[in-house]
């Protein structure tokens, strides 16, 4: 699976949109982009995933560039509870391919009052 | 509510002892995974199982063992052969349809004393 690159940290004001970038320039055509977040000392929480179209759910929006080499996770109105480490990973969509999943260090998002 | 339960939340082990971490899910998910997380590092895959009575080594399986006798349960044993067992251990599961995301447990923090 492709490797991803994320900024180590970001700040966002409460109530503003948080835009978290992810670079995955070596992504293959059959790899999905997944986003998770991890609040301190808890298990990661699934946020959203997509292949090439933009996606939106109750938690966030995912914007994938046309060449699929990068994506942005958007939290439209960040709250203090959104303070967490956000992970962007890419994986082939079949259950057997897990050995090469690369979880990087993610982006530590601090939402400030 | 459906979910994954890891127990205990905190575990202390003396050097040379084996210890078993519990992971139970009631989501009817086929696949289950064990990850290890160290401070300042991403998640690393220890073992995974796609069906009952079958499991595969991940990237850092040495010093660990697992079993999958029931669909709901995937316990991890940290043996005395694991030289640096102090870490945060995360269990996850996924349905058979592979393009769903992981559901993670809340983790077990193991400390060797």
Nearest to B79 by CA among B91, B61, B92: B61
Written as tens digits, the pLDDT of chain A (113 aa) is 568 999 999 999 999 999 999 999 999 888 889 999 999 889 999 999 999 989 999 999 999 999 999 999 999 999 999 999 999 998 876 555 554 567 888 999 999 99
In chain B, which residue's Cα lies nearest the Cα of A103? B42
Task: Report chain B residues touching chain A, CB-CB < 8 A.
Answer: 4, 6, 30-31, 33, 35, 40-45, 48, 50, 56, 58-59, 88, 90-92, 94, 96, 98-99, 101-107, 109
CB A91 within 8 A of CB A27: no
CB atoms within 10 A of CB B82: 23
C-alpha Rg value of chain A to the nearest Å: 13
> What are the φ and ψ backbone dihedral angles of B101, each rounded to 5 degrees?
-85, 170
User: For the residues of A40-69, what is the DSSP string, one character each?
Assistant: TTS--EEEEEESSS-EE-SS-EEEE-TTSS
């Amino acid at each position: 699976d492709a490797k991803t690159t994320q900024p180590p940290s970001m700040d966002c004001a409460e109530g503003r949109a948080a835009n978290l970038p992810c670079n995955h320039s070596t992504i293959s055509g059959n790899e999905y982009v997944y986003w998770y977040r991890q609040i301190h000392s808890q298990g990661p929480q699934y946020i959203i995933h997509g292949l090439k179209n933009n996606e939106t759910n109750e938690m966030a929006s995912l914007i994938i560039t046309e060449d699929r080499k990068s994506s942005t996770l958007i939290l439209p109105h960040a709250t203090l509870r959104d303070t967490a480490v956000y992970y962007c990973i890419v994986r082939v969509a079949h259950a057997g391919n897990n050995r090469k999943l690369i979880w990087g260090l993610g982006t530590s998002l601090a939402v400030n009052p | 509510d459906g979910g994954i339960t890891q127990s205990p939340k905190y575990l202390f082990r003396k050097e040379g002892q084996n210890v078993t971490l519990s992971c139970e899910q009631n989501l009817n998910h086929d696949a289950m995974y064990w990850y290890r997380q160290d401070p300042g590092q991403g998640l690393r895959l220890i073992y995974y199982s796609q069906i009952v009575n079958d499991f595969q080594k991940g990237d850092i399986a040495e010093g660990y063992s697992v079993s999958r006798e029931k669909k709901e349960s995937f316990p991890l044993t940290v043996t005395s052969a694991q030289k640096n067992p102090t870490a945060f251990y995360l269990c996850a599961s996924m349905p058979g349809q592979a393009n769903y995301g992981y559901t993670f447990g809340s983790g077990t923090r193991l400390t060797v004393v």
